[in-house]
Chains A and B, each alone.
Chain A
Amino acid sequence: MEIIDANTAMLSNFEVLGLLNSSRVKGDQTRNQSGSLATITYEAIKYLEGTPAALQSEGCFKKFLEDVKKFGLTIKEKTMILNLRPKTDVEISLIVQSTDQERLTEEQIEELIELIQNTLPE
């Protein structure tokens, strides 16, 4: 086995949940006698269905990524917002790393919370 790249891309919970619920994994699962795929997909789906990802759709996913561009967030920050769907400014300040100078003003944080509430279902 040769690991070419241990991290070629980051996935959001929504994308992983979509894969695990898709027929290509389900088909392998029924034929997989060892059951390890069935176990991990069952447990991961159970966890992911308790997260905001369970309610997201491709439409709101794309709309959010389009609208959030103006805030200049990194991919990691955007992934965390999609996975956690923060509601308060305390949560935003945990996700968006502030260095010496504040990256988001208070108004921008409020605008971001409003954007999350409008695009991502609760």
Chain B
Amino acid sequence: MFVLALVKQTVRVPSEKFNRDIDQAISEELNLKFANKVVLDVGLCIALWDIIKRGESFILPGDGGHHTKVEFRYVVFRPFMEQILVGRIKNCDKESVQVSLGFFEDIFISSENLQKNSRFDETEHLWIWEYQTEDGKHDLFMDTGEEIRFKVVAEYFIDTTPSGPSNEAPDSSLDPIKDNKRLSYRINASINESGLGLLSWWAS
């Protein structure tokens, strides 16, 4: 679920960090810039792994800091397709089940990717898997907070940097629900296979 991304970038180290070891100062700047951010088509950045190459440092007119070109490897959260992961159910609604890993919560299992014969219970506000056995149906509940094993089936990256004004009506673009849907990195998952779903379902 974690990979190393190799990135080349010019880093500015402010002058107040000149007394520090240069690699340490650069590593601080890189973590300041990337930690807990989603990079388009790369994934969610966690922490710096190492600096591979460090070029010469330059001081530019009108700027106290120095600029150094570095090549570094960063730990990135980016599960591969078909990877099996374990998380906790965060929320259920009519369309999907949302799963959280704690540090990443934009994982959705849409209703068609749930186990066959699942139904949504409006009063309890959760999904129920109607498991068929010889002696009838068993209702298996998908409670919030339960541990769930799922398979990654799709990923979507959206460039969320603000662009110019949109052509849509202004009041619709301020709609908070629509805004929430613009997730920069979103994973679609599936539990439609034996062995997938709540851990308690397969414990025995």
A interface residues (Cβ-Cβ under 8 A, vs B): 1-13, 15-16, 19-20, 24-25, 27-28, 31-32, 34, 36-37, 39-41, 43-44, 46-47, 51, 76, 80, 83-84, 88, 90-91, 93-95, 97
Nearest Cβ on chain B to A66's Cβ, whole angstroms: 22
Closest to B43 in A: A6
Q: 4 closest Cβ contacts across the A-B interface?
A: A43-B103, A37-B35, A40-B36, A47-B102
Asked if B42 and A3 make an inter-chain contact with CB atoms under 8 angstroms apart, the answer reads yes
B interface residues (Cβ-Cβ under 8 A, vs A): 1-9, 24, 27-28, 31-32, 35-37, 39, 41-43, 45-49, 71, 73, 75-78, 80, 82-84, 86, 101-103, 149, 151, 193-196, 202
Asked if A37 and B193 make an inter-chain contact with CB atoms under 8 angstroms apart, the answer reads no
A46 contacts across to B, CB distance below 8 A: 102-103
CA distance A11 to B47 in the complex (A): 13
- Interface of A (DSSP majority class): helix
B37 contacts across to A, CB distance below 8 A: 36
Asked if A94 and B84 make an inter-chain contact with CB atoms under 8 angstroms apart, the answer reads yes
* Choice from B2, B31, B82, B83 contacting A37 with Cβ under 8 Å: B31
